[in-house]
Amino acid sequence: MRTLASRVALNQTIALATLTATPARAAGNIIDRQGFESVSFHFYVGAGGITFDGTNYLGLLIEESDDNVTWTPIASSNAVNAGPGVTTAVDASGRVGLIQSAKGAADTYPLSRKWDYVGSKRYVSARPAFVGTHATGTPVAVIAVLGDPANLPVT
């Protein structure tokens, strides 16, 4: 029997934390796609520490690299929104979503903040991008799901 667990690998790229600034791209939030054909990023955002607006907002950023040294924002053709009802396109900075309006309820957005990377680069990274002033933090987490492995089962 083939179970889902034997066909995917989960990586917590940004552990749930209350953040006030964009975390650095580091070993923990870089995904090496070698051996996998697909990756999906799931952004979880809790109650905003500030009132988001056009100046102070939270972006959801995905970057790609061939060599894990030179990084570029993903192109709009390299990400597909996997959540219902969201029409936000990828911008030139690689941001796949923006939260620019007040968010007071303590909840998460796993469905509307889920993006599939469909590019061909070996390395990808996803993280929140804080723009403006964020004196009070916002809870954020990012999980990557790697799928379509070259070898089964995934260990």
Chain segment 97-121, per-residue pLDDT in tens: 777 776 555 554 443 578 889 999 9
Predicted local confidence at residue 34, as pLDDT: 94
Each residue of 26-39: pLDDT tens digit?
Answer: 888 899 999 999 99
Residue 92: inside a domain: yes
Q: Mean pLDDT across the stretch 14-26?
A: 91
Write out the DSSP string of the chain.
---GGGTEEEEEEEEEEEESSPPPP-GGGEEE-TTEEEEEEEEEE-S-SS---SSSEEEEEEEEESSSSS-EEPPGGGEEE-STT--PPP-TT-EEEEE-S---S----TTTTEEEE-S--SEEEEEEEEES--SS-EEEEEEEEEEEESSSS--
Domain count, the chain: 1
154 within domain boundaries: no
Q: How many CA atoms lie within 13 A of 71 on its CB side?
A: 17
Q: Does residue 74 lie in a domain region? A: yes
User: Which residues are CB-contacts of 86 (< 8 A; sequence separation ≥ 6)?
Assistant: 97, 112, 113
Residue 18, phi then psi, degrees to nearest 5: -90, 110
Instruction: Kindly state whether residue 90 falls inside one of the protein's structural domains.
Output: yes
CB-side exposure of 15: number of CA atoms within 13 Å?
3
Give me the percent of the chain exceeding a pLDDT of 70: 87
Q: What is the domain-level CATH number for residue 50?
A: 2.60.120
Q: Is the omega angle on the peptide bond into residue 139 within 30 degrees of 0, that is, cis?
A: no
* Residue 138 maps to a domain: yes
- 112 lies in a domain? yes
Q: What is the pLDDT of residues 22-73, one digit of tens each?
A: 999 888 889 999 999 999 998 888 878 888 888 998 888 999 999 999 999 9
89 vs 99: CA distance, rounded Å: 13
In a domain, 153, yes or no: no
Domain that holds residue 50: 4-148
Chain mean pLDDT for the chain: 84
pTM over 0.75: yes
Q: Is 32 inside a domain boundary? A: yes
Predicted confidence band of residue 153 (pLDDT cuts 50, 70, 90): confident
